[in-house]
Amino acid sequence: MTVEKLYRHFGWKIRQSYREQLTRANGRRRHLKSKQNYSLEEFGLTKQWIEEELGELIDFYKLNDESAHSLGP
């Protein structure tokens, strides 16, 4: 889960009760499916622009692996 990744990244300890809440919320979220699909272009963005403008941040925070999935084709 993303929240747990943030906690690990910053070296924060996560309480067991909070982890359980996240697990329950994540389980509910999996049953929901958005009927909308959005593209970068709908927001005036391109993968190239994001890489040019945010590349340093993406590299600094080591988001390269996950960003490839979230930026689309």
- Tens-digit pLDDT profile for residues 45-70: 998 999 899 999 888 888 876 544 45
How far apart are the C-alpha atoms of 30 and 57, rounded to whole Å?
Answer: 29
Asked if the model's pLDDT at residue 16 lies above 90, the reply is: yes
**pLDDT grade for 73, boundaries at 50, 70 and 90:** very low
> In Å, what is the CA distance from 38 to each residue of 19, 63, 72, 73?
30, 21, 10, 13
For residue 29, the SS3 value is helix
pTM: predicted TM-score of the whole model, two decimal places: 0.37
- The domains of the chain are located at 1-33, 40-73
Residue pair 44/68 in contact by the 8 Å Cβ criterion: no
